Chains A and B, each alone.
Chain A
Amino acid sequence: MTYVPLDITDLMLAASLLIANGLISIAFRLKLERSFVIAALRMVVQLSIVSLALTFIFQVNDPRWTAFFAILMGAAAAYEVNYRQERRVKGAIAIALAAGAPFLAGLVATLFAAIAIVAPDPWYAPRYLLPIFGMMLGNALTGTSLVLDTLTQGVQRERTAIEARLALGATRFEALDNVLRRALTTGLTPILTAMAATGIVSLPGMMTGQILAGVDPVAAAKYQVMIMFLISGATGIAVVAAGLGAVLLITDERHRLRLDRLES
């Protein structure tokens, strides 16, 4: 396995392309110059810190440090999923659900990969666990926020129909089944599209990375296939947990629709 390492001048050469973005922004008066600079700086700083942290964690190779880093990633995901939603359900339980669904799904899928599929030695080797966990978390998070958004928008739009069903004696899951089904479909669509388009429209980032790092394309493709299956599993778990949990949160034990529990 050989690859061409990059040095600082290579990166500065690549960064010069940002000037093009700046010029576009000025030419079309997009007012994005500042945002571009800030976003680029954030990326450099964040990736530097993460790469240094990962170097340290790979060296100590201690399950406690691995777990600690995984929890930090989960916390960042929790912030992201709650920040992304348009109209959240009020209360700490809702935040815990939005954060917990992707975390749980990512954990299950990653442990499954670590113990049964990849089985590195030791099984908790952070070099395998953390990147896999990150990919699971990211995709489960997208699914979760799509489900929660679709569901909260759906119950507001279809309030009359839902309450008509409740008034006729339907339970909360019966009354919300159309909305829930649509939310779950929306949450699962990205991974479906990704699987169908992979290799034709785009080479997935992970596979590209492995090929650039000198791995045989067939071996890289095998890894990518495994990752895609894991992602669909993780997304499925997260989407179902978030969907069922959200139905319980926007209704109550008397099977009433509680739109008052949505943030205004």
Chain B
Amino acid sequence: MLRVEHLKVGSLPALTFAVADGECLAIEGPSGSGKTRLLRAIADLDQVEGHVFLDGVERRELTGPQWRRAVRYVAAEAGWWTDTARPAISQTGTASARTGRMITTLGLTDAILDKPLSQLSTGERQRLALARALGDEPRVLLLDEPTGALDATSSALVEELIRFQMLAGRSVLLASHDVLLVGRLAHVRLQLARPQPAVSPTATRRNSP
């Protein structure tokens, strides 16, 4: 269970909410309303006031890297620091085997790991980044526009993968402009208002999908 208490992100009012294991919270709002900043804050990538707990443990009780190994932020724009994907994927045996399976699940082949990243499409890099992020089995997934650069077929594969992660007990926080995707996946929604003048986030709950 991920619990956020009085998290002060940008000009938003302090946010308090919880996401149970295996549930999906969708964060909605227009561009600039703070969806990315909220996800980054939960991953402890930006300095913000407030508390975030994972199973009762506050993020400051762990080191930054320990926290981010459990609470995994997957950016909308995938970052790479090597020429091909393979060296950037977890190197331990089980994790790399798991990443390999996910690459197949996402409609890619193992051979793509040895192609120059600069020659891959944005969508391929985005799917690779998602597979990379899941290799070491984080507890919570913070997905920022996971289908942003994908066509319908690939989006469906990503959606299935997210659903499978939820079945495995992972909490998912999903920021997406795809209302249909959100409608199918989300248990709870967090609506962020336009950045100015006044903001009032409301969380509405609906029955399981």
Residues of A within 8 A of B (CB): 158-171, 178, 252-258
Contacts and interface: CB of A to CB of B under 8 A. Distances in A.
B81 A178 contact: yes
Nearest to A253: B64
Interface string B59-78: 00001111011001111011
Best-buried of A159, A167, A170, A258 by chain B (most CB within 10 Å): A167
A164 B66 contact: no
B170 to A, nearest CB: 16
B79 A256 contact: no
B64 A254 contact: yes
Given A167-B133, A168-B132, A255-B64, 20 more contacts: A161-B81, A164-B75, A164-B78, A164-B79, A165-B79, A167-B74, A168-B136, A169-B66, A169-B68, A169-B136, A170-B65, A252-B47, A253-B64, A254-B63, A254-B64, A255-B68, A256-B46, A256-B64, A257-B45, A258-B47
A167 B81 contact: no
Main secondary structure of the interface of B (DSSP, over half): loop
A169 B136 CA distance: 10
B192 to A, nearest CB: 21
A60 B74 CA distance: 67
B80 A161 contact: yes
B44 A162 contact: no
Question: Which 5 A-B pairs give the minimum distances between C-beta atoms?
Answer: A164-B79, A255-B64, A169-B69, A160-B79, A254-B64
B43 interface: yes
Contacts of A254: 44, 47, 63-64
Interface in B11-63: 43-47, 63
B81 A158 contact: yes
B68 A166 contact: yes
A256 B66 contact: no
Interface of B: 43-47, 63-66, 68-69, 72-75, 77-81, 129, 132-133, 136
Contacts of A164: 75, 78-81, 129
A167 B75 contact: yes
B46 to A, nearest CB: 7
Given A160-B79, A161-B80, A161-B81, A167 B73 contact: yes
A112 B7 CA distance: 54
Contacts of A165: 79, 81
B80 to A, nearest CB: 6
Most interface-central of B45, B63, B77, B81 (chain A CB within 10 A): B81
Nearest to A251: B64
Interface centre among A165, A252, A253 (most CB of B within 10 A): A165
21 contacts: A160-B75, A160-B78, A160-B79, A161-B79, A161-B81, A162-B81, A164-B75, A164-B79, A166-B45, A166-B65, A167-B43, A167-B68, A167-B74, A168-B132, A171-B65, A253-B64, A254-B44, A255-B68, A256-B45, A256-B46, A257-B45
Contacts of A168: 68-69, 72, 132-133, 136
Contacts of B66: 169
Contacts of A252: 47
Contacts of A159: 79
B64 A166 contact: yes
Contacts of B74: 167
Contacts of A253: 64
Contacts of B72: 167-168
A163 to B, nearest CB: 6
Contacts of A167: 43, 45, 68, 72-75, 133
Contacts of B81: 158, 161-162, 164-165, 178
Contacts of A158: 79, 81
A30 to B, nearest CB: 42
Contacts of A257: 45
B45 to A, nearest CB: 6
A258 B45 CA distance: 9
Between B45, B46, B65, B129, the greatest number of chain A beta carbons within 10 A of the residue's beta carbon is seen for B65
Contacts of A169: 65-66, 68-69, 136
A169 B65 CA distance: 4
Nearest to B60: A254
B65 A255 contact: yes
A161 B77 CA distance: 10
